[in-house]
A and B are shown apart, each in its own frame.
Chain A
């Protein structure tokens, strides 16, 4: 079985899977659109949760959230299934493929054979589409890859039943029903409004307040935990911001692309203006990452280096606070 499925590469796996699955059903929705309507832009700081021996930072909401919000806002019905038995998980997947339905899967990254070694961490919220089976091998459309790949039954079972935080448990999903017509404009407004509220949320671990918290900690870390650990923590921040999936600048550029598209759909020139500002903010995030990487390159790290990084992040938080307050008024 081989479903005629168009593989299009995207920056982020979750948006890419959504966009490709919808495209297969004849709904053309760009990756930035899916990201923006699903309120994908976010910032969260979890200082007590240690990921890879550093605190948790994330530039996006919990895995699966973007898809769920998008589906709700456009009135798409998506069927989700998890399994306790790998045999059942495989049987249902095969059945759906026989019916000609491309299936989205949540998988662990560590055992994905086509990823380079450097990227194989125990991260369980990656998404891909299976669009067929040939000679006992599954045909895989992984949206962050340029090209389609294949996995054997054993390989796919291993990634579908990866262990650790957020275990996929064979999680599969497919589009069940699409609405006759949907209100794109309303969905866009809802998506933007939620992002503004998230980023301006009055809690310390979310949005611009979380950025400020991180910034204050960067100033303290060298004295409290030492230079080596500080550099490792900052490395984690850079990787979360720039690694495959973000489209650069911690999703800021994807969001700017969304605002530009949204400005045209809603015929609202203010959003086009906001898009340009968001691009500038994204550039400032890139500079921040570049300055952190200089610590590794030059091996030079006086206390003033960290004070400067802290000030940079505080400034970014301030800019985003003003940005989202303005965006909220524009919508």
Chain B
């Protein structure tokens, strides 16, 4: 890559005013660093991955609203977690986490357990137990 070939397509980092450093060859063949505003090829790959996450969140949200899953499942997807990760953040074994996906069991959870989940998601117990469609996080 030559210094004048370093892509400057506005990417998501550019929004936060962060440039990425790329290594490129100058006109005399010496290596140097050039700040880059982003590259379309990367932005597209990242968008594909984010789309997949959005799809999963939407599907889980529907299931929660239909009463098939508890809000824990929704917040887990929202925070890009899987069961193992949520289990370690909440300090609850993954078998129980999976059981707590059941809305009925979720309804019976103690305040103490709810607080653990809420802590893992960085929200209050009230937010966790209120219907998710009111929540615009």
Whether B132 sits at the interface, judged by CB under 8 Å, is no
A254 touches B23 (CB 8 A): yes
Asked whether A260 and B18 contact (CB < 8 A) given A122-B80, A122-B81, the answer is no
Question: Which residues of A (179-200) have their CB < 8 Å from a CB of B?
Answer: none
Given A116-B13, A119-B13, check contact A253 B41 (CB 8 Å). no
Binds B, one of A66-74, A96-104, A243-251, A305-313: A243-251
A297 adjacent to B22 (CB under 8 Å):
no
Closest chain A residue to B14, Cβ basis: A116
Contact A116 B15 (CB under 8 A): yes
Determine whether the beta carbon of B22 is less than 8 Å from that of A253. Answer: yes
A291 to B, closest residue via Cβ: B41
A148 within 8 A of B: no
Q: How many residues of B contact A (CB 8 A)?
A: 40
B79 contact set on A, CB distance < 8 A: 110
Task: Tell me, in angstroms, the Cα distance from A163 to B121 when the chains sit together.
Answer: 13
**B65 sits at the interface (CB 8 A):** no
A151 to B91, CA, bound (A): 25
Which chain B residue has the least Cβ–Cβ distance from A287?
B41
Question: What is the bound-complex CA distance between A89 and B31, given in angstroms?
Answer: 40
| A210-218, A234-242, A320-328: which lies at the interface | A234-242
Contact flags (1/0) for A241-269 with B, using CB distance below 8 Å?
01110011100011011001100000000
**Is A277 engaged at the interface, CB distance under 8 Å to the other chain?**
no
Q: Is A232 part of the contact surface with B, judged by Cβ < 8 Å?
A: yes
Q: CB of B17 within 8 A of chain A?
A: yes
Does B63 touch A at the CB level, under 8 Å? no
CB of B30 within 8 A of CB of A260, answer: yes
Nearest chain A CB to B24's CB is how many angstroms away? 7
B residues neighboring A (CB under 8 Å): 1, 6, 12-13, 15-25, 29-31, 33, 35-36, 39-42, 44-50, 52, 79-81, 84-85, 88-89
A residues at B contact (CB < 8 Å): 9-11, 32, 52-53, 110, 114-122, 144-146, 163-164, 167, 231-232, 234-236, 238-239, 242-244, 247-249, 253-254, 256-257, 260-261, 275-276, 279, 282-283, 286, 289-290, 292-293, 296-297
**Can you list 17 A-B pairs with a CB-CB distance of less than 8 A?**
A9-B21, A32-B31, A52-B49, A53-B52, A163-B89, A164-B85, A234-B45, A235-B46, A239-B49, A248-B36, A254-B23, A256-B23, A286-B1, A289-B45, A293-B41, A293-B42, A296-B45
6 nearest CB pairs, A to B: A257-B31, A293-B41, A253-B23, A238-B45, A163-B88, A118-B12
